[in-house]
Amino acid sequence: MVEIDLNHIYKKYANAEEENSYAVSDFDLHIKNEEFIVFVGPSGCGKSTTLRMIAGLESITEGELKIDDELMNDVVPKDRNIAMVFQNYALYPHMSVFKNMAFGLKLRKYEKEDIEQRVKYAADILGLTEYLDRKPAALSGGQRQRVALGRAIVRDAPIFLMDEPLSNLDAKLRVSMRAEIARLHQRLHTTTIYVTHDQTEAMTMADRIVVMSMGEVQQIGTPQEVYVTPRNKFVAGFIGSPAMNFIDVTYKDGVITDTEGLKIAVPEGRAKVLEKQGYNGKKMTLGIRPEDIHAEEAFNETWPNSVVEAEVVVSELLGATSMLYSRVDGTEFVAIVDARDYHKPGEKVKLSFDINKAHFFDIETTLAIR
């Protein structure tokens, strides 16, 4: 059983010059036992800093870190009972795989039998059993990565922290290791915090995602929640691939228009919310995912008022689907449509916007209008 509480955590690096330049501000999160949490966000948004504060590798400027209700702010890393895996890791060049995994335990004076049992267990889970006698130089990149994971597993710590552990692997290996880490979690049930800049990794692995930008938490939720109901424009644009389209529009009496000639009807339910929130006649940002723009005849007939006449600028056939980079006068957007609705660049195409699935964001605050 282990629970982690981050209560309004702030980090300011000693060499941060500005009075208010925090690398992380007001980070507030309760992590449940056995949860797999992913911190995701662009480079420099404070993911590693937060993780390193949890590990005790960086001091906490303000706020409280609690593990099982015990204040951890001033506890040294080795007394926190946390195992970490990094993007870059080293292994002892002259030690066998077995010894690389066992060394930390030996220094901590574990019994010989205990060490043996733990290493063998980890090796078994990771498929390293037949490599236990090899030196790191005789292993492939993926195997070395597994040894680094093994070093964390043998500690049998209740908490795993992983900082972009797969970023240095090639794309194919990354996908298979991703599945392996997910499987590992199902088997060991270790409470895990995983850091990545890759939203696909976050979406496929997380129980809950923490989306960060510029040192601040933007939203915390399940993959489905952050995808379906993004709290603001940043989350909407960061989660999902290809990214959501954003178009600045004005809403007036059931219709949205933009300055470039786009004109789309808003279904009654959505229109009501916009009006209730005081947006009638106001500017806002329309957000619509590429998969919510349709080219099927049937859809266009059902929603004639949300159809636009677009011109295809670039198109890519991706197998079952195709991507249409399209334009209505000066407004550009991407649509993912059925491969049968593929169009060549320059062709005209009727596309309908599924406004029921669209998002509206306040221009100033960038918050979703609900």
- Among the residue ranges 24-32, 33-41, 48-56, 95-103, the one whose residues contact Mg ion (CB under 5 A): 48-56
Which of another protein, Mg ion, ligand ADP, none binds 104 (CB below 5-8 Å, type-dependent)? another protein
Segments in 47-135 forming alpha helices (H) = 47-55, 97-107, 112-126
Choose the stretch contacting Mg ion; rule: CB under 5 A; options: 43-51, 56-64, 144-152, 252-260.
43-51
Q: Which stretch binds Mg ion (CB under 5 A): 44-52, 115-123, 277-285, 347-355?
A: 44-52
Residue 261's binding partner out of Mg ion, another protein, ligand ADP, none, with CB under 5 to 8 Å set by partner kind: none
**Partner touching 71 among another protein, Mg ion, ligand ADP, none, CB below 5 to 8 Å by kind:** none
Residues within window 259-298 making contact with another protein, judged by CB under 8 A: none
Point out which span in 45-53, 72-80, 119-127, 311-319 binds Mg ion (CB under 5 A).
45-53
Peptide linkage before 242 cis (omega within 30 of 0): yes
DSSP annotation of 369 reads P
Residue 172 CA to residue 15 CA, distance in Å, equals 39
Coil, strand or helix at 163: strand
End-to-end alpha carbon distance in the chain:
37
Closest approach of another protein to the CB of residue 83, in Å: 9
Closest among 113, 91, 96, 115 to 105, alpha carbons compared: 115
Amino acid identity, position 314? V
Asked if 44 touches another protein (CB under 8 A), the answer is yes
Phi, psi of 296 (to 5 degrees): -65, 140
Distance (Å, whole) CA 309 – CA 331: 12
Q: Which residues contact 78 (CB under 8 A, 6 or more apart)?
A: none
Of 28, 33, 71, 88, the one binding another protein by CB under 8 A: 88
Out of another protein, ligand ADP, Mg ion, none, which partner does residue 91 contact, by CB within 5 to 8 A per kind? another protein
Do the Cβ atoms of 39 and 194 come closer than 8 Å? yes
- Using CB under 5 A as the binding rule, whether residue 306 contacts Mg ion is answered as no
Residues near another protein (CB under 8 A) are 14-18, 21-23, 42-44, 76-78, 84, 86, 88-95, 103-104, 107, 151, 197, 214-215
